[in-house]
Amino acid sequence: MRLLEYSDSIWLTEHKRGESMGLKQLRQRAGLTQVKLAKLTGIAQTTLSGYETGRYDVHSMTLDNALRLSRALECRPDELTDGYPE
């Protein structure tokens, strides 16, 4: 089930350098707060916040974290980074 779809033009206008719109949008679409997602995945809320704000590079997250998040958010791992791997 794909929870979020962006056309290229929408992605280009909404994406800010260093900020992961994919993870935040997927989390919000699932109706989860960072705290609830942290409890579901076992990933610290501060880490989730870092991924969403660009403090941590989502392209460098561990495979374990990517799989935990994709399972909790019912998406493919590449959707956590807007589907644009770097």
- The answer as to whether 24 is a domain residue is no
State residue 12's pLDDT score. Answer: 32
Token digits for 1? 């089930």
- The answer as to whether 54 is a domain residue is yes
By residue range, what is the domain housing residue 57?
34-78
CA–CA distance, 34 with 1 (Å, rounded to integer): 21
The number of distinct structural domains making up the chain is 1
pLDDT digits (tens, 9 = 90+) for 15-55: 444 444 589 999 999 999 999 999 999 999 999 999 998 89
Its pTM surpasses 0.75:
no
Give the CA distances from residue 73 to residues 22, 31, 38, in Å, rounded to whole numbers and listed in that order: 11, 10, 12
- The answer as to whether 64 is a domain residue is yes
